[in-house]
């Protein structure tokens, strides 16, 4: 199941890359720019075919993709005279801005559509206080801050007693419980190490299981090792749109905060107590591992699909926003150059002077190389951290 989750993540990642490049491709074609290549990956070409004036294919290094548009910058001097009118640099500024922003826009469209599908097709989490078990914690954590099981952790009381997801707990120690709140209070009030009778409703039949409660350091009360079942409720299309918009805004806010906290997160990457959970900074490797873990969770299919889609949605929104940062060689850097060119031309026109033309990209190459090296270096650092200190979905 973990492998299947990884495969789903890889497919979603490749699809996202293709969608990003398709945004550039379609808008460039719409404005009659000449597009010569559409590739997924970088490096050596593994497979390609020619259709019209464009070569489509796959390259050996699956680290992104690209669309080759003739005359992207002033540095390109190999543009044929007959192709110059169709070059990127010869088109109006507003058209170039649309082409550059289209990649991130497609990430946002995909994320919004998936949020809509979650609300309408899978369902939103409904407020429920039912004492129904959603998942069984596999172990007793070492302390209150531990986020995953490690070798040597004892089996959780619920797992040892044979509790299962879907069990509805109706009584604890002979006393009826009707809500999850009542159940939690009852568990915490019983002494750790004491065996209590737990009455459950399973497949329409009542069963009684004996559970020996545990104690977690730094956490008040006793511990059984169960998680409440999530109740999902599908909504109509209109509510689905408003819900998708609201969640999209929340994820954007969280993503902006994540970018702002990158510097402070670096020291935590190799800290097993803080970097080994789903809330920290992670790489593509870490995101794939989280997707695999999510798909292997012993929970309802709705919750499993919701967790996997949430990961994919968050990645698309983060990548879309990150790509808009005004830093070369990101799309946002090229956007900043075009906007600067148009602002400079407007000021020149106000002064009755000629258009200064395109920015001399040679002056920006050192900045571009520096930012590229920084992005690659940080990406490799996070990948190594995720390999040495794997991320985990908190138990």
Residues with a known catalytic role: 21
With contact defined as beta carbons under 8 Å apart, do 177 and 234 qualify?
no
| Residues contacting 85, CB < 8 A, separation 6+ | none
| Residues contacting 120, CB < 8 A, separation 6+ | 234, 235, 236, 237, 240
With contact defined as beta carbons under 8 Å apart, do 193 and 183 qualify?
no
Q: CA 309, 123, 236 angle in degrees (round to 5)?
A: 120
Cis check: omega of the bond before 329, within 30 degrees of 0 = yes
Report residue 25 as tokens: 């491709």
Give the CA count within 13 Å in the CB-facing half-sphere of 204: 0
Give the CA count within 13 Å in the CB-facing half-sphere of 60: 3
- In eight-state DSSP terms, residue 149 is -
With contact defined as beta carbons under 8 Å apart, do 97 and 338 qualify?
yes
Residue 37 class from Cβ within 10 Å (0-12 exposed, 13-18 middle, 19+ buried)?
middle
Q: DSSP 3-state assignment of 278?
A: coil
| Residues contacting 163, CB < 8 A, separation 6+ | 133, 136, 198, 200, 209, 211, 224, 226
> Which H or E element spans position 30?
helix 2-30
Report residue 75 as tokens: 């540095």
With contact defined as beta carbons under 8 Å apart, do 88 and 96 qualify?
yes
Distance CA 244, CA 58 (A): 33
- In eight-state DSSP terms, residue 155 is B
In the numeric block, the tokens 């991320």 are attached to 391
Paired with 214 in beta bridges are 223
Distance CA 393, CA 164 (A): 20
- Helix 2-30 and helix 284-295: axis angle, to 10°? 130
């Amino acid at each position: 199941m973990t492998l299947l989750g990884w495969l789903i993540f890889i497919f979603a990642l490749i699809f996202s890359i293709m969608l990003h490049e398709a945004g550039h491709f379609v808008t460039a074609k719409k404005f009659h720019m000449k597009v010569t290549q559409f590739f997924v990956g970088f490096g050596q070409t593994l497979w390609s075919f020619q259709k019209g004036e464009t070569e489509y294919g796959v390259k050996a290094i699956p680290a992104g993709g690209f669309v080759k548009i003739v005359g992207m910058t002033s540095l390109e001097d190999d543009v044929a005279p007959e192709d110059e009118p169709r070059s990127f640099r010869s088109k109006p500024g507003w058209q170039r801005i649309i082409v550059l922003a289209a990649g991130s826009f497609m990430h946002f469209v995909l994320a919004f559509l998936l949020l809509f599908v979650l609300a309408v097709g899978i369902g939103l989490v409904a407020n429920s206080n039912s004492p129904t078990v959603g998942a069984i914690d596999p172990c007793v954590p070492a302390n209150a801050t531990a986020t995953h099981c490690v070798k040597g952790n004892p089996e959780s009381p619920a797992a040892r007693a044979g509790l299962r997801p879907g069990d509805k707990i109706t009584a604890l120690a002979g006393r009826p419980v009707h809500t999850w709140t009542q159940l939690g209070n009852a568990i915490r009030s019983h002494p750790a190490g004491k065996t209590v009778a737990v009455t459950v409703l399973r497949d329409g039949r009542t069963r009684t299981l004996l559970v020996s409660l545990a104690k977690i350091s730094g956490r008040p009360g006793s511990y059984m090792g169960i998680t409440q079942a999530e109740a999902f409720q599908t909504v109509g299309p209109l509510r689905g749109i408003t819900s998708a918009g609201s969640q999209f805004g929340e994820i954007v806010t969280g993503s902006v905060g994540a970018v702002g906290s990158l510097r402070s997160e670096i020291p935590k990457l190799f800290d097993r107590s803080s970097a080994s959970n789903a809330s920290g900074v992670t790489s593509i490797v870490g995101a794939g591992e989280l997707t695999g873990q999510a798909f292997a969770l012993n929970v309802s299919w709705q919750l499993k699909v919701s967790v996997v889609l949430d990961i994919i949605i968050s990645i698309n929104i983060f990548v879309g926003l990150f790509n808009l940062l005004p830093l070369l060689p990101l799309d946002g850097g090229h956007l900043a150059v075009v906007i600067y060119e148009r602002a400079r031309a407007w000021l020149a026109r106000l002064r009755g002077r000629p258009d200064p033309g395109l920015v001399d990209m040679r002056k920006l190459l050192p900045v571009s190389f520096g930012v590229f090296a920084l992005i690659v270096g940080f990406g490799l650092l996070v990948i190594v951290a995720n390999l040495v200190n794997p991320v985990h979905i908190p138990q």
